[in-house]
A and B are shown apart, each in its own frame.
Chain A
Amino acid sequence: MNVVGATVGWLSDPANWTGPNGIPTRVGEHTAICLAAMAIALAISLPAGLYTGHTRRWAGLAAGLAVIGRALPSLALIGLVLPITQALDPDRGFSLYPTLIAMVVLAIPPILVNADAGLRAVDADVVEAARGMGHGEAGLLRRVEVPLALPVLLGGIRSAAVQVIATTTLGAIFALGGLGRYIVDGIAQNDDGMLFGGVVLVGGMAMTAEGLLGLLQRVAERRAAARVP
């Protein structure tokens, strides 16, 4: 297959490993954007999900977010905020901000929905027993509910991370850096090596995130199982 050959050739060409369009730079950009999006999304959705799950109130919020979160196409979302951010900041408003905002919006529903659902699924008897033993609300959340809900919670973070890594590539349509650059430029320049090299790199990153978070999830599962006989 000449596609495989072109991809291996592109990936092993030393020229592609240096400079502002080099693989290390693009991987760094991609990682930075994804980490920033995940950090902002976590800062918003984790407290919200923990609150609704712990108090068992606002059940409709998570359900509604789940529907809206699935219904918002990322490319349309980037397009929607782009004219606004560009008016505010002509430079990064065209490249960085629209994609960053879209990725935050994309990552919020899985994290919030799972934090909420994970806490709600904690056995009410366990919660009552912990209260009876004198745990305050914060202690209950930190020492009982979160450890038991952690596998589900991490599952949400894993889904969000994989989606964000794969979808950040769309930003390259709008002049953003990152690994999407290779895909968009590979298509534009009819360069199969660059295109598939980009795909391999993004896929590798997504699978790494999936693997690492999946591992954490399994550790959390074992710990949670050890807590409840």
Chain B
Amino acid sequence: MLDWGWLADHLPALAYRTGQHLYLTSIAMAVGLAISLALGTAAARRRRLYSPIGIVAGLLFTIPSLALFAALVPIVGLNLLTAEIPLVLYTLVILFRNVVAGFDAVPADVHEAADAQAVVGLARLLRVDLPLATPLIVAGIRVATVSTIGLVTITATLGDAFGGLGFFIFEGARRSFPTEIYAGALPVILLALALDRLFAWLGDRLTPWSRASTAEATSAPWREEAGAA
């Protein structure tokens, strides 16, 4: 059923597209994380900021990702920004909530203890709040990474210069060529699962006192996320 010859011929292309996929994903994640840490820190202190950002995030959800990428072409043209703006926006929906939830989860007596030891301001943020918020932030990073991996496939609508492995899914569908569809679809799923595991492991290593994998086993309701990939 699979055309192994095609696969063998296209190994360099597969490697290139995988690299492109990871490149587009990492830019979105890095920018998204930086913005949500800044916004999350602000919103954790000023509650009034939280609900407007939450509403915008909820609205973003109802827009098909396919459309959001295409919608930007008339506005910013066809370049890296066209792909990255929606990708970053979708990461924000997930990361922002988790950063705020992470900072909220820091117990008040921990703050009092920090104050009593004169650990205040930026020092308290970096040495007390951030480490304690890490499990929830890492949980957000996992979901956001996986969602971004899926969304990058859709950037293939923007043309050959984008899409990562999604390029093969689109081209394979256009040519009705199953091997090519699989060459894109399977690695995408494996990439998403692998990165999810990697960040789960990394989170456990960073915060040995609270293992994300054990937190996972307790049932928590589904939280909205930009999963529309």
Query: Which positions in A face B, CB cutoff 8 Å?
Result: 3, 59-60, 62-63, 66-77, 79-80, 82-83, 86, 94, 106, 109-110, 113-114, 116-118, 120, 152, 155-156, 159, 162-163, 165-167, 169-170, 173-174, 180, 183-184, 186-187, 192, 195-196, 198-199, 202-203, 206-207, 210
Contacts and interface: CB of A to CB of B under 8 A. Distances in A.
B204 interface: no
A83 B64 contact: no
Interface in B176-229: 176, 178, 181-182, 184-186, 188-189, 192-193, 196, 216-222, 224-225, 227-229
Contact of A206 (B62, B70, B184, B185): B62
Interface of B is mostly: helix
B170 A173 contact: yes
B71 A196 contact: yes
B62 A117 contact: no
Contact of A156 (B66, B166, B222, B228): B222
B42 interface: no
B219 A73 contact: no
A114 B221 contact: yes
B12 interface: no
Contacts of B71: 195-196, 199
A66 B66 CA distance: 24
A76 B217 CA distance: 27
B173 interface: yes
Contacts of A110: 222
